[in-house]
Chains A and B, each alone.
Chain A
Amino acid sequence: MGNYVGKSMKRVEDPRFIQGRGRYVANLQMPGMVHVAVKRSPHAHARINAIHTDEAKALPGVVAVYIGQELVDGGAGSLPCGFTPPGIKTPPHYPLAIDKVRHVGDGVAVVVAESAYIANDALDLIEVDYDPLPAVVNAKGAMDEGAPLVHDDVPNNLSFHWPLGDEEAVNTAFAEADHVVELDLINQRLIPNAMEPRACAAQWDSFMETMTVWTTSQNPHTIRLLLGAFTLGIPEHKLRVISPDVGGGFGSKIFHYPEEVIVPWVARAVNRPAKWVSTRSEAFMTDAHGRDHVTHCKLALKSDGTFTGLHVTTYANMGAYLSTFAPLIPTALYITLFSGLYKIPVIFGESYGTMTNTVPVDAYRGAGRPEASYMLERLVDIAALELEMDPLEIRRKNLIPADEFPYQTPVALVYDSGNYQGLLDKIESLSDYKGMRAEQAQARQNGRLVGVGMSSCIEASGPAPSAVAVGLGAAIGLYESGVIRVHPTGKITVLTGSHAHGQGHETTFAQIVADELGVPVEDVEIIHGDTERTPYGVGTYGSRSAAIGGSALVKSAEKIRDKITRIAAHQLEAAVEDMVYDRENGKVHVKGSPDQAKSFGELAFAVTTADNLPEGMEAGLEETSFYDPANFTFPNSAHIAQIEIDRDTGEVKIQKYAAVDDVGNVINPMIVDGQLVGGIAQGVGQALWENGVYDDNGQLLSGTMLDYAMPRADGFPTIATDRIETPSPHNPLGVKGAGEMGTIAGTATIANAVMDALAPLGIKHLDMPLTAEKLYNAIHAANGGGN
C-alpha cells in the first residue's frame, strides 16, 4: 500500500480555477492579434451560386475575408475520418463549404478583423446566393427511395453497413423461443454542451516557418497529426499544438474541426496571430452531436426468463460529414457491448450509418455504450413486465457468474473481471430495494405514479489494444505515453500524452508516480496538453487515462526504480538482487540492513554527478514508456432509482438514486465519486430533458440553452454511491475507468423507473426524453382522455 493511491487527496489544479486563473484558449491575448468569425449557412441543404464579400472587405477594421475555394487553393485539405471499416464511403469535408452547404451552421466564409465585434459586423455584410435544396434529417428516412442525396457519391445516403454475430443462429434461437420481446426505440440526438465553447488561436512564425496552434482539444497530438498530414500542409515538426486548460469535453473536443484549420491558415495568410472563439449558438450548430439512433431490437427468452438470443438493427445518423471517429461509435463501441452483464448465447447486431443534413454525430460521453445499455436494459425490463418477474430477479437469473471470467461474449469482446452477483446484492441493500417497492405499492394504492427503475450495465473502457483498433479500421494505435523526468534535486516532472479537461490528472497521476517512487506528492508536477513538451500520445477519451496513461507512468517508474537500485547496489557494494526499494520512504537499502541505504534524492543527484555509476551506465534519470493495453477494461454498474410523476403536470421528480459501480481499483475516491455523480446527471439529462431537435427542413429547433434543456441543480436528489472493486488484470494499476459509467447507467435507470411508474396505465414504452409534456399527454391518453 502506498502513501497516496486510494486516498481522497484534494486537487492540485483547483487553486487556479477557484481564483479565476484557468488558462483557457479564449483568454489568450497576443500583440497584433486578429479576430476570426465564420459566416454560417442558414440552410440545411443548398447549392452555393455566389458569395459576395466586397462590402464586408470594405468595412473599416476588416483585415481579410476568405471563402472555401481560397482555403483549398492555399493548401487546406479535407478533414479526414479516422475510422474506416472496409467498404465505407467517406465523402470529403472541406473546412468551408465550396459547392454546397449540407447543414445549418456549415461554414461558407471567414472574416478576419481587428476586433471580434467588427468581425461579427462584417458577417452580416457577406451576401451568399443560395439555391435551397430539399433536406433529409432522419437516420432511417435517409435511406428511403428518392430521399435527397447529401453527397452525390454516397448512394442512398448510406456510408456503411456493419454487421456482427451469427444471424442464422440468432434466427434459430428466436424460432425456438418461448417468449419474444420486441421494441422499436429512438435514442435521441444529444448536444454535448461542454461549458467552455470551443476556441482556437494560432501564431505563425514567418522566420522559422513554424506554427503554434492553441485549441480546446482532448487530444492535441491527434490534432497535430491531422493538421500536419491532411489539412494544413505544415509538417508536424514545424507544428506545435497546445491544449491548455479545457473546460469540459465529454467527447465533443476529441475531433478535428474546421476552425482548427481555418485559424492557423488565416494566421499564416495575414501573418498575424489569430483567434476564434465559438459562441454557444455556434456550438449548438457545429460541435459534433451525440447518439441519434433509430433501432429495432428483440430478445428471445425461455418461459423462466432465461435469455436465449438477441437481434438488433440500428440506423445511426452520421450527419452531413463523417466526423473524426464517427463510424466507430455505432459499430465497434456499440454492437460489441450487446451482451451486457448477461449470458446471451447468440447475438446478432447491425448498424447502418447514414448521411443527413444535420450536424455531424460522433462520440459523446459513453459513445455507443450508453446506446447499447439503454437498448438492452429496456428490453430486459419489458421482458420482466411481460413474464411477470421482478426486474432485479430477471437480471440476477441471467448474470455472468463470477467464476466464468475471463468471459468470451458472442460479440467479440472478452470481459476481464467482475462480480456481478455481488454488484446486484450491494445495490439491493444500498437502495433499500424492498423498501422502495413497499413505498411504491402504498403510493399506487393512493393513485400516485411512483416508479422504481434499475439498470445493470457494462462498459468497455480504456480503448484500446492498438492491434485490435487498427484491425477494425482505426487509423491510429491507441497506446499512451508517459515520461518521468527526475531532476538533479530529486524533484520530478511528468509528461503525459493523456489530457485533462476536468478529470484531475494533475492530482491522480502525481499520486501514482509519488507512490511508485516513494517520493512526496508535492515533488511531482504533471505536464500535459502540449505537443512540444510531451511525447506523442493519444489523449483522453473512452475512460482511458488512468488505465493506459497511468500504466505508462507505472512502467516508466519501474525503469527509474531499476536504474537507481543498480546505482545504490554499486555504491553500497552489494548485489543488485540484495537490494530493497522501500516505496514508502523513498529509499533503496540492503536487504536486512535498512541503515545501509541511499535516499531517492541522493541517487537522483548521483546520476547527475555521474562520477560513481555502475560500469557502462549512462548519466541522466529520465524514462519514457508507451503502454499498449492487452484488452479493454470492463467497468460495470448497478443503479436503482425511485421517481414520482406528478399526474397534474407530468413532471418527474427523482426521489432516490443509488449507484454501485465497479471501476476496479480506485486512485482517488473523491474524484471517482465526482466522475460517477456527474456522469449520472448527464445520463439523467438524456432520460428526462435533453433533445437535439431538427424539423423536416433541417432547421435546428433546439439551438440555444433556452430550447435545449440542460440538467440543473434542482433536478436531482443527493445520489448515494458505493462500489465493489474487482481489479482489472490487464493493467498494473488494476483500474477500469470511471469517466462514463454514470452516464451509461443513469439514462437506462431513470428511463426504466419512469416506465415502471406508467406500467399500471398499460404504457409499455415511450421514447426519451421523458419530458413533462410527453408524460402528461401519455397519461391523459391512457386514461381515455380524462386525467
Chain B
Amino acid sequence: MKVSLTVNGSAVERDVEPRTLLVHFLRDHLSLTGTNIGCDTSQCGACTVHLNGMAVKSCTTLAVQADGAEVTTIEGLAHNGQLHPMQQAFWDNHGLQCGYCTPGMIMAAVKLVENNPNITDDEIRHGLEGNICRCTGYQNIVKSVKSAAAAMGGD
C-alpha cells in the first residue's frame, strides 16, 4: 500500500507491504541507514527516530503508521552543516565508542532534553533506560546529555 510522509523535511511516497516496519522503510526503501537495528524486542532503542515530535522505536512502528507524519532521523538532525548541540556534545564528551547505539541514543536524548530543559543526572539515567549501550557504561553519555542541555538553553 501507498505511504506518504515527510522525512527529514522532504516529502516521500512509496508503495510498501503493509507489514513493513518503519525502520526497514527508512533503511531499505529510503537508504537512510543511519538508524540502526539492535534488537527485535524494542529493548535497545538503537532505532529511535522522531515521529511527529515524539521519540519512537522505529522497529516496532509500521511504516503505514507513519503515513502523513513527519519523521526525523539522525541524518536530519544537523542543519546547514551545523551539528545539533546533542551531536556536538556526544563528540566533545566521548559519549560514544563503537557508535552503533549512538544515533538512537542521540535521538532519544534530544527529546528528553526538549521535554525537560533543566534535566538532572538522575533524570537522564532514568530517561535513557530504554536505550542500551554496551561500550560506554553510560557515564559519558550522561555527561554529553547534561552538556547538551546547557547548550540547548537550560539553566
Contacts and interface: CB of A to CB of B under 8 A. Distances in A.
Interface of A: 10-11, 13-22, 24, 26-27, 29, 116-117, 193-197, 245-248, 250, 277, 279-281, 501-504, 670-671, 674-675, 677-682, 704-706, 710-714, 716, 718-719, 742
Interface string B94-126: 101111111100100000000000000110111
A705 B132 contact: yes
Contact of B97 (A502, A706, A712): A502
Contacts of A250: 134
Contacts of A18: 74, 83, 87, 90-91, 96, 99, 102-103, 106
Nearest to A704: B41
Nearest to B99: A17
B75 A15 contact: no
Contact of A20 (B103, B121, B122, B135): B103
A195 B41 contact: no
Contacts of A246: 98
Contacts of B11: none
B50 to A, nearest CB: 13
A280 B37 CA distance: 9
A716 B103 contact: no
B38 to A, nearest CB: 5
Contact of A19 (B19, B34, B44, B125): B34
Contacts of B99: 13-14, 16-18, 22, 245, 247, 502
Interface string B123-147: 0111011011111111111100000
Contact of A280 (B31, B41, B83, B133): B41
B155 to A, nearest CB: 21
| Chain B facing A: main interface SS | loop
8 contacts: A20-B33, A248-B97, A670-B94, A674-B140, A677-B140, A678-B134, A711-B138, A716-B138
B78 interface: yes
Nearest to A503: B97
A20 B34 CA distance: 4
Interface in B63-83: 73-75, 77-78, 83
A248 B132 CA distance: 13
B94 A671 contact: yes
Given A502-B135, A713-B129, A705 B73 contact: no
Contacts of A716: 125, 137-139
Nearest to A671: B94
A678 B139 CA distance: 8
Nearest to A10: B91
B36 interface: yes
| Chain A facing B: main interface SS | loop
Given A27-B33, A279-B40, A11 B139 contact: no
Residue of A17, A21, A713 with most partner-chain B CB within 10 A: A713
Given A117-B17, A250-B134, A705 B100 contact: no
Given A18-B83, A20-B33, A712-B129, A706 B100 contact: no
A529 B37 CA distance: 22
A714 B35 contact: no
A744 B121 CA distance: 27
Contacts of B5: none
Contact of B38 (A21, A280, A680, A681): A280
B101 A195 contact: yes
Contacts of B134: 193-195, 248, 250, 678, 682, 710
B54 to A, nearest CB: 19
B98 A194 contact: yes
A575 B15 CA distance: 75
Contacts of A20: 32-35, 73-75, 103
B98 A197 contact: no
A742 B136 CA distance: 11
Nearest to B90: A18
The 7 closest A-B pairs by CB, nearest first: A20-B34, A247-B100, A17-B99, A681-B137, A502-B98, A20-B74, A705-B43
Interface of B: 17, 19-20, 24, 27, 31-41, 43-44, 46, 73-75, 77-78, 83, 87, 90-92, 94, 96-103, 106, 121-122, 124-126, 128-129, 131-142
A10 B74 contact: no
A2 to B, nearest CB: 21
A13 B97 CA distance: 9
Residue of A14, A195, A196 with most partner-chain B CB within 10 A: A195
Nearest to B131: A713
B125 A14 contact: no
A18 B100 CA distance: 10
B84 to A, nearest CB: 9
Contacts of A29: 31
A172 B97 CA distance: 49
Contacts of A712: 128-129, 132, 138
B125 A714 contact: yes
Contacts of B135: 195, 248, 502, 674, 678
B100 A22 contact: yes
A670 B122 CA distance: 23
A710 to B, nearest CB: 5
A680 B91 CA distance: 22
B44 A705 contact: yes
B98 A195 contact: yes
A248 B100 contact: yes
B43 A706 contact: yes
B75 to A, nearest CB: 5
Given A678-B137, A716-B138, A19 B97 contact: no
A16 B46 CA distance: 16
Contacts of A117: 17, 19-20
Given A21-B34, A713-B125, 20 more contacts: A15-B91, A16-B99, A19-B77, A19-B78, A19-B87, A20-B34, A22-B100, A22-B102, A26-B33, A280-B41, A280-B44, A281-B40, A502-B135, A675-B97, A677-B140, A678-B136, A704-B41, A712-B128, A713-B133, A718-B139
A247 B39 contact: no
